[in-house]
Structures are given as C-alpha cells and as structure tokens.
C-alpha cells in the first residue's frame, strides 16, 4: 500500500514558478488595473495576453483539461496543489485559463459535445476568444431540479426556450449561456432575441427567456439529459471551488499570524494573549483538515471518477464554506477595525462565505446527501443493544476462553471481576 504526502521535484519547480509569477506579475496587474485579465479592451489585453502566453509556454494553460483537449493532463491532485496558489489572486484563474464558470462549461463540452460543438464553442472558450455563463437555478425553486419550469420545445430545425433563471453568474458578460431546461441542456448565444437580462443582481444575473430560438444543434448531450450533464459539471465545479477556498483560508491565516506578531495590546504582543493563541491554533487545525480533505478527494477522483467521489466532493463543498467563514472571521477580529474595511482582503473573504455555502447547491442539501451515502455502508444492529454493548460482547468473548475459565479458578475470578466492573 503506497501512502505519500510528497510532491515530485519537477512539479514542485512548477509550483515555485507559479507562486513567483502570481506574486510578481498577476497581483500587480490586479492592483493597478483591476479586471484587466478579463477585459476585451485592446489596451487591457496587451497587458494580460503576454502573461497568459507565459503560462502557455510553461505548459500550464487550461490546467483542468486532459492533454487530448489542449490541457496539461495533470489530474485533480496536481490541480489542487496549483489552486492553493491561484486561489490567492483574483485574476490568476483567468490568466491560467481555469476561470469559472468557463471551466465547468468546457468540461461538459469536452465530455458531451459533438465535434461541431467543440469547434464552435469548446476551443474558442479554451483560447478565451469567448466567455460563457451557466444558467441553472430558478426564482421559485432555487437549485432543486424538480421545481424547474424552463423548457425547450422542438419546432422544426429549432428549439424554442421559455422560462426564467436566477443567479446566472456573469450572464451579462457572456457570449454564450448554457441553459438547463427540464428536457435538456442548450447553448444559447447571449444576443439571441428573447434573452432578457434584468438590471439586478449585477454580477449574478436574473434572466428571462421568452420564445428564444436556437438551432437544433445547440442541444448539448441527449435530450432529457440535463441532470446528468449538470451533475458532471457541478461535481467538478464544487471540488475546484474547494481547492481555491484552501488558498483563501491560507491567506486569511497568514494575515492573522503576521498581525498577531506585529500588534500590541495591554502591554504585550497580542500573540501572547491566550484567546489569540486559541484562534490561531483552531484556525491551523481547520485549515489543514480542509486541505487534506480536498487533496484526498482530488486523489480519489484521479483514481476513480467524479461520480464515485461524490460523497467526498459534497463534504468538501460544505466544509470549505464553514472553514472560510470561521478563519476569516477570526482573522478579521485579530486585525481589528482594519479588518472591517476593504483595505485588506478579509472583509471580502468573510462576506463571500455565505455565497460559498449556497452556490452550487446549499450546504444543507449536501449534508443530507453525505449522510444518506454514508449510511448506505451501515446496517441496523440486531436486537435492542448496539454492536458495541460491552456486556453482550464480553459474554460472547468468554466463549473463546470457556475451557480455560472452567479449568483455572484464578482466571475465572479474573474474568468474573471484569464482568462485574461494567455493571455499575
């Protein structure tokens, strides 16, 4: 049985390069020209595109895709290690070609797209010639697919889509929108007549689809296959969110520790106060438990599949939201009033934790899923006593030594004393 926590030297060199590149190139771009890496402005592209080319030259572009699709084929475990760096910087995912929601949409196209669909959408998405959005949740039912009403009806060589979607992240900026209907997944160009993007929310758009017509070839995967495609997409998306959350938690923890050693209160450095020490100790434990959970899940995906890892993925999803909330909250308190402002990343981290607990399915649903799946590996105990009921186990165990107990009074007395010890 192999059991290893090490990283091979060649890949560690890549990780070291990524850390330095993000610190020296990506972060300065973020600070001086926020959003430039995402922008279509020619001047912004002139700044961002050379950085993206450096990533491609290192063989690190589109990290999540297999080699035959233009990615490096690293697998989920190495992707997790890379995301521990990328997740600290807002623009790093797009500079490395791994930004959501494009990643999940590309995975669906890679798995279910026809050659024509891949030529039309997958490869342009990979090259960031176009951007995409994912339109799933609905106002009346949230992310519960049994409550969805948006439907596509076949009309000759076209599909006609009618319905309403809520919280379509980046929908107003996308070139194409992946719309989940009750009877299939459809790719809809944003400028198609009948696509109405409401004025709010601004980032996670409310969209109405009224008699939206798309060609028959815009159905992705089989008709009535939307749920299968959605699970494929969301499974990968959830673990990638968790990977990047590890980076955010580590950043909050680093800020917490640095500030604890730098600030004084009541005559001593606050790192010497026991409540601060408790915050650091609890945060250290939670950070590393989350990290190991995510890495174990990534390893499991690499050695099985996303489907077979669904219980672990769901566990990562709700755990990462909880740990981000707790650690960022402690860090915010240790930074004091500065932590409540937008002058450090902490306020944004803490504010994002409720969204993390709702996006891609609310935590309560994932906890119920985990509980159901875990309980499949257990059976009710026979009779009224649990399996670990000591008197019953001891009575059964005495049968193993029955001959010895019968032949040796001293050993019989010993066994009787052990039996009496649990009666009170």
DSSP result, 185-244? EEEEETTSTTEEE-SSSSSEEEEEEEEEEEEGGGEESSTT-HHHHHHHHHHHHHHHHHHH
CA distances from 364 to 167, 196, 346, 358 (A): 19, 31, 25, 9
Q: Among 181-190, 390-399, 415-424, which stretch is predicted with the lowest mean pLDDT?
A: 415-424
pLDDT-based confidence at residue 398 (cuts at 50, 70, 90): very high
**Domain residue extents for the chain:** 9-113, 132-220, 227-375, 390-420
What tens digit of pLDDT does each residue of 128-156 get?
Answer: 999 999 999 999 988 888 899 999 999 99
Helices 310-335 and 274-303 cross at an angle (nearest 10°) of: 160
For position 162, what pLDDT does the model report? 98
What tens digit of pLDDT does each residue of 329-378 get?
Answer: 999 999 999 999 999 999 999 999 998 898 888 899 999 999 999 999 99
Residue 280 CA to its chain's centroid (Å): 24
Superfamily of domain 9-113 in the CATH hierarchy: Acyl-CoA dehydrogenase/oxidase, N-terminal domain (1.10.540.10)
For position 259, what pLDDT does the model report? 97
Respond yes or no on whether the N-terminal peptide bond of residue 101 is cis (omega within 30° of 0): yes
pLDDT-based confidence at residue 80 (cuts at 50, 70, 90): very high
For the chain, give percent helix, strand, coil, nearest 5: 55, 15, 30
pLDDT at 34 over 80: yes
Q: Which ranges of 4-147 does DSSP label H, i.e. alpha helix?
A: 9-21, 27-32, 42-57, 76-86, 92-95, 102-112, 115-117, 123-126
pLDDT-based confidence at residue 68 (cuts at 50, 70, 90): confident
Residue 50 CA to its chain's centroid (Å): 28
pLDDT at 78 over 90: yes
pLDDT at 102 over 70: yes
pTM of the model: 0.90
What tens digit of pLDDT does each residue of 251-297 get?
Answer: 999 999 999 999 999 999 999 999 999 999 999 999 999 999 999 99
Q: Residue 109: is it exposed, middle or buried by C-beta count within 10 angstroms (0-12/13-18/19+)?
A: buried
For position 4, what pLDDT does the model report? 84
For the domain made up of 132-220, give the CATH fold: Butyryl-CoA Dehydrogenase, subunit A; domain 2 (2.40.110)
For position 362, what pLDDT does the model report? 87
Whether the CB-CB separation of 321 and 361 falls below 8 Å is answered with no
pLDDT at 223 over 60: yes
CA distances from 140 to 100, 153, 194, 312 (A): 25, 21, 20, 29
Coil/strand/helix, residue 355: helix
CA distances from 416 to 395, 398, 404, 423 (A): 11, 10, 13, 11
The CATH number corresponding to 227-375 among 2.60.40.1840, 1.20.140.10, 3.90.1150.150, 3.40.50.300 equals 1.20.140.10
For position 232, what pLDDT does the model report? 72
For position 239, what pLDDT does the model report? 87
What tens digit of pLDDT does each residue of 376-389 get?
Answer: 999 999 999 999 99
């Amino acid at each position: 049985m192999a059991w290893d926590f090490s990283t091979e030297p060649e890949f560690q060199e890549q990780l070291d390069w990524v850390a330095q590149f993000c610190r020296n190139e990506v972060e300065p771009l973020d600070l001086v020209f926020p959003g430039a890496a995402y922008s279509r402005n020619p001047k912004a592209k002139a700044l961002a595109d050379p950085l993206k080319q450096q990533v491609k030259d290192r063989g690190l572009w589109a990290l999540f895709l297999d080699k035959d699709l233009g990615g490096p084929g690293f697998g989920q475990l190495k992707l997790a290690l890379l995301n521990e760096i990328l997740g600290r910087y807002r623009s790093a995912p797009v500079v490395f070609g791994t930004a959501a929601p494009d990643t999940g949409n590309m995975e669906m196209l890679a798995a279910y797209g026809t050659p024509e669909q891949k030529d039309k959408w997958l490869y342009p998405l990979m090259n960031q010639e176009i951007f995409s959005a994912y339109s799933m949740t609905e106002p009346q039912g949230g992310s519960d697919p049994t409550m969805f009403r948006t439907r596509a009806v076949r009309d000759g060589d076209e599909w006609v889509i009618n319905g309403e979607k809520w919280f379509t992240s980046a929908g107003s900026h996308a070139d194409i929108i992946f719309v989940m209907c009750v009877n299939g997944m459809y790719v809809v160009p944003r400028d198609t007549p009948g696509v109405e993007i409401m004025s709010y929310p601004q980032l996670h758009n409310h969209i109405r689809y009224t008699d939206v017509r798309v060609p028959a070839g815009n159905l992705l995967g089989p008709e009535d296959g939307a749920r299968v495609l959605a699970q494929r997409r969301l499974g990968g998306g959830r673990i990638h969110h968790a990977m990047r959350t590890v980076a955010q938690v580590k950043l909050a923890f680093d800020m917490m520790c640095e500030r604890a050693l730098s600030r004084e209160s009541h005559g001593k450095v606050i790192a010497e106060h026991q409540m601060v020490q408790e915050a650091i100790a609890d945060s250290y434990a939670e950070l590393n438990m989350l990290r190991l959970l995510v890495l174990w899940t990534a390893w499991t995906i690499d050695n099985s599949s996303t489907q077979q890892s669904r219980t672990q993925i769901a566990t990562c999803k709700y755990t990462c939201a909880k740990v981000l909330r707790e650690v960022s909250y402690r860090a915010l308190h240790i930074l004091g009033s500065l932590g409540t402002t937008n002058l450090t990343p902490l306020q944004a981290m803490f504010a994002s934790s409720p969204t993390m607990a709702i996006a891609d399915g609310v935590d309560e649903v994932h906890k119920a899923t985990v509980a159901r799946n875990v309980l499949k590996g257990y059976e009710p105990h026979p009779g009224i006593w649990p399996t670990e009921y000591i008197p019953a186990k001891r009575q059964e165990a005495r049968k193993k030594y029955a001959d010895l107990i019968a032949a040796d009074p001293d050993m019989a007395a010993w066994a009787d004393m052990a039996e009496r010890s649990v009666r009170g």
